[in-house]
Structure 1
Amino acid sequence: METELADLVHGVGRRLRRGYGERLGPLGLSPGQARALRVIVESEPPLRMVQLAERLRIVPRSVTPVVDALEEAGLVRREVDPANRRSTLLVVTPGGRELYERVREERRRVAEELFSVLTAEQRDRLRELLGTVDAQSA
């Protein structure tokens, strides 16, 4: 029973990632880059690289190529942390904020299409259940 549930969750996640990839590719972002951009945009004050890695639940060395790509695209810039000159802060650019809004809309559309087979009450219940599982594993 639990393996069947895990397979279903994995399959839904795979469909979401595929949908995101299809919608984000034309915007010039991978799903991982879009996720990092979202975390950077939604963070106040600006994050350090290690904090971004923690929020993305990846090892710090894996965040560097993601930030490099975002920086090369002009979406994010690195700034010296005035409170600790050895640290680097990640600051979203106006272009990054604008693209983030487009990404957010595409993500919403993908999720809306995938979950359209559920009623509003079923979506609320699924959100609650998955939130409980996610909080337990964090």
Structure 2
Amino acid sequence: MPEPVFTDDLAAALAGTQRLIRRRLRQGLTGPRLRGAQVELLRLVAANPGLRVSAAAKELCLAGNSVSTLVNQLVAAGLLHREVDPADRRAALLLPTPEAAERLAAWEANRNALVREQVEGLSAVDQAALAAALPALRRLAAGLRGQDEGED
């Protein structure tokens, strides 16, 4: 069983790294600033055009009304387009706008460049350790996702 200090350090390192990446990326952005949940929803819709709000809520592990609020914000910002689902006229299909696609592409390119630059500055031993940890981190994420899905 892992020591509590290890798990505390791991959780803090993951959260801190993500927070620092977001902070560094925000410095070079133009246009209105988006919150983390808004970016997550945009990325999900860009990867799955025509996604329903209910499916987005399940994938993001958020309440449907929370996702509806995010959708309304992103529609108002001109980043999402909502269409009526022809199979169920009560449901909406979500589509990214061209502006959203451009912003996401720029954000991802900047994120990849930032992380690449930082990883390249590490020793070969540290780079190998990070690469070796990726499968375990993916399994950790899958376990967390499984827990969220079991709570529905």
Measured against the shorter chain, the TM-score band is: 0.7 to 0.9
Q: CA RMSD in A?
A: 2.2
CA contact (8 A) 2:25 2:107 kept: no
Runs of 4+ in 1 over 4 A off after TM superposition: none
Question: What is the TM-score when the length of structure 2 is the normalising length?
Answer: 0.75
Residues 68 and 135 of structure 1, relative CA distance in 2, 3 Å threshold: same
Which runs of structure 2 are paired with 1:1-138 in the superposition (5 Å)? 1=5, 2-24=7-29, 26-30=30-34, 31-44=36-49, 46-116=50-120, 117=122, 119=124, 120-138=127-145
How many residue pairs end up in the alignment?
Answer: 136
Specify every segment of 5 or more residues in structure 2 that has no aligned partner in the other structure, as ranges: 146-152
* Structure 1 residue 66, shift from structure 2 partner: 1.8
Query: Which protein, 1 or 2, shows the higher relative CO under an 8 Å CA cutoff with sep ≥ 6?
Result: 1
Distance across 2 between alignment mates of 1:73 and 1:86: 23
* Structure 1 residue 99, shift from structure 2 partner: 2.1
* Structure 1 residue 27, shift from structure 2 partner: 3.7
